[in-house]
Amino acid sequence: MGYLLAGFRLFLYIWVFIIFSLIGLMVHTLFFVSKSQRFKWISFFTRWWAKTTCWVLNFQFRIVGEKIFKPGSLIVSNHIGTPDIFILGACFKGFFVSKAEISDWPFFNLLAWLGMTIFADRKHKRQVRSIIQKIETRLNADCSVILFPEAQATDGADIVPFKSAVFESVVQAGRPVVPVALQYHDGNKPTIAYYGDSFFKHMITLLKNPRLQATVFILPEIAAGPNRHKLAESSYESVRNRYLKREEG
């Protein structure tokens, strides 16, 4: 039964992939000379792609906290697995900062490029300045950016201290940080949302799973300050304190 469900969902997602790829290509073509319009429409359709993916995979989530915040905010969250991208993408209109390895993921690599994802290659530290500038450009254009500052997926037992480098974009842009704590409620330790060490096995597990429930805690925003280290530390403490409360339902 599980593989039958997985096959049906894969069939549906192929159509999702085709439709949103065509939409992305159309937006890039129509607004090739207008970056601001591309930002606007790509972020709009990226959110609908994420919502559609959550529907196909039956990812159910509720939002706790303030749902309205300033455009051009840096949204930072803990990171467990691939469902994080779909759920947060469905909650927030914005752009993702993603590891460069996503370019090896079938389907998602093209959609990530069309969605104007900012790729970060941790093996090349000289690239950090470019990443900061790209984030700052989006923030100054009143586009929010979604970031996983742990810079790795964890098994959900705890939260790894946030890397501070990318918080420099907030310092330079003078924009707020919105901390987000994401919790899954499937009763597994680690949760099936955990990426693990194999993308293929991870996706098969998600495709076979009947339902995945989560809670998205949107925490009080943190005003931009002159010190990226303090911003990273404050964001980390906010997310970790909420996450470790372990409140279900």
pLDDT, tens digit, for every residue of 151-202? 888 888 999 999 999 999 999 999 999 999 999 999 888 899 998 777 788 8
**Average pLDDT over the chain, rounded to an integer:** 89
What pLDDT is stored for residue 174 in this prediction?
92
Q: How much is the average pLDDT of 203-216?
A: 93
74 bridge partner residues: 145, 177
Instruction: Give the closest residue to 70 by CA, choosing from 168, 175, 188.
Output: 175
CA dist., res. 234 & res. 140, Å (int): 22
Give the per-residue pLDDT at 189.
86
Q: Which of 22-26, 108-112, 142-146 has the lowest mean pLDDT?
A: 108-112
Q: What is the DSSP string of 30-85?
A: HTTT-HHHHHHHHHHHHHHHHHHHHHHHTEEEEEEE-----SS-EEEE---STHHH
Q: Dump pLDDT digits (tens) for 51-96.
A: 999 999 999 999 998 877 888 999 999 999 989 999 999 999 999 9
The reported pTM is 0.92
Whole-angstrom Cα distance, residue 31 to residue 128?
28
The DSSP-derived string for 145-187 is EEE-TT-S---SSS-PPPP-GGGHHHHHHT--EEEEEEEE-SS
Please tell me the distance from the alpha carbon of residue 127 to that of residue 132, in angstroms, as a whole number.
9
The whole-number pLDDT of residue 123 equals: 63
Give me the residues paired with residue 217 across strands: 64, 181
Other residues' Cβ atoms within 10 Å of the Cβ of residue 170: 29
Q: What's the rounded Cα separation, in Å, for the pair 212 and 222?
A: 30
Predicted confidence at residue 124, as pLDDT, reads 65
Give mean pLDDT, residues 38-61: 95
Residue 249 pLDDT > 50, yes or no? no
Closest CA to 185 of 160, 221, 212: 212
Q: CA 221 to CA 240: how far, in whole Å?
A: 15
- Does 248 have pLDDT greater than 60? no
Segments making up each domain of the chain, as ranges: 2-243
DSSP-assigned beta bridge partners for residue 62: 215
